[in-house]
Amino acid sequence: MSFLTKIRRKTPNEFFLIPGLIGLGIFVFAICYSIYMSFYRYKLGFMQPNYVGLTNYSMLLHDPVFTTAVKNTLFFVAIASTSELLYGIFLAVLLYWSNKRYLFIPFLIVPMILPAVNLVVIWRFLFHPDYGFVNQILTSIGLSAINPLNNPKWAMPTIILMDIWQMTPFVMIIVLAGLSTVPPEVLTAARIDGARKFQLTLKILLPMTKNVILAVFLLRLIDAFRIFAKVYLLTRGGPGVATETIELQIYNRALRGLEIGLGSTMSVIFILISLVVIIPYTIMVLKNWRR
């Protein structure tokens, strides 16, 4: 037996984890570094880090723009992912009972693969105040033109509508896959008892896919925190601060302004908020993967 084979035999199984752990370790280091830097005032390339204690935190908590950004982010995450979940389940059920579902599915999932830039072009053109498609229709039937992207009250709902348009197919396709795993015998048995489609759906199909539904909801919640490109390209946080989000704040104030200390504080706050949805998801995966 050669020397190399001996070493190979003796390496513990944990050795195989190392490549991935090194890569992920860099990001853990990055998080720790953010926590550390959140107590400093530090402008990259301009000044050395300067310990300021909790000043960054108290400053941000009293900063009206940042607190608005936090509220907007939470509002978006809650409304968008809940609507996508309900609408997605609804569409999945319709497809489940449709005999032509394979005609619909390929077209319905197209929005999901479109880059954010494409969506923004479409949306900006649809809602353009002067020659937008929506206004052309509205004025032609005698209604007054609208300009939701420049209206502080309607800008965020418009972004949410755009996200629903794009991401509902994701919920739909996963829930549909879940529904399809319900064994047909269960349905046949219930049907013999005289249950109708509506009852079958509510009483049997959906309860039997509740794990999938929970999983897809958690995935949507986690993903809804990542709306940077859509908001940045559609409204840049405006009008005013109506669509300002935490990601936009980090991008504009921390990176464009090179304020590493303040940006780290924002990142720490952002991570703490997102942990609320990440922890249940982690527990779910741990349970699923246990061998």
Partner 1 sequence: MASLINVFLIVVLLTVLVPLGVLVMISLLPPGEWSIPPKSPTLDNFVYVFKEFRFYRNMLNTFLFIGLAILISLVLALPTAYAIARLQIKYYVWVFTVVLVILVKSLPPGSLLVPVYELLWKLRLTNTVLGVALSYQVYTLPFVIWILTSFLLDLPREVETAARIDGAGRFARLRHIIFPLSIPGIISAVILGFLNLWNEYMYSSVIVSSRNLQTAAVVLGQLVTSEYVYDWGILASANIISVLPAIFFVSFVQKNISKAITGGIKG
Instruction: Give the shortest CB-89-to-partner 1 separation in angstroms.
Output: 13
- Residue 230 and residue 243: Cα distance in Å, rounded? 11
Interacting residues of 242 by C-beta distance below 8 A, sequence separation 6+: 72, 152, 153, 155, 156, 235
Q: Which stretch binds partner 1 (CB under 8 A): 54-62, 140-148, 169-177, 186-194?
A: 169-177
Contact characters 207-246, partner 1, x per CB under 8 A:
--x-xx--xx--x--x--xx-xx--xx--x---------x
Q: Does 271 bind partner 1 (CB under 8 A)?
A: yes
- Residue 210 and residue 175: Cα distance in Å, rounded? 9
Instruction: Give the shortest CB-55-to-partner 1 separation in angstroms.
Output: 17
ω into 239 cis (within 30 of 0) = yes
Q: Which of 27, 62, 64, 141 binds partner 1 (CB under 8 A)?
A: 27
Q: Which stretch binds partner 1 (CB under 8 A): 30-38, 64-72, 142-150, 185-193?
A: 30-38
Instruction: Give the shortest CB-35-to-partner 1 separation in angstroms.
Output: 10
Decide whether 148 or 178 has the Cβ nearer to partner 1: 178
| 1-20 positions binding partner 1, by CB under 8 A | 5, 8-9, 13-14, 16-20
Alpha helices in the chain (DSSP H): 3-10, 18-37, 55-61, 64-97, 101-108, 110-113, 116-126, 133-140, 155-180, 184-192, 197-199, 206-208, 210-224, 228-234, 246-249, 260-289
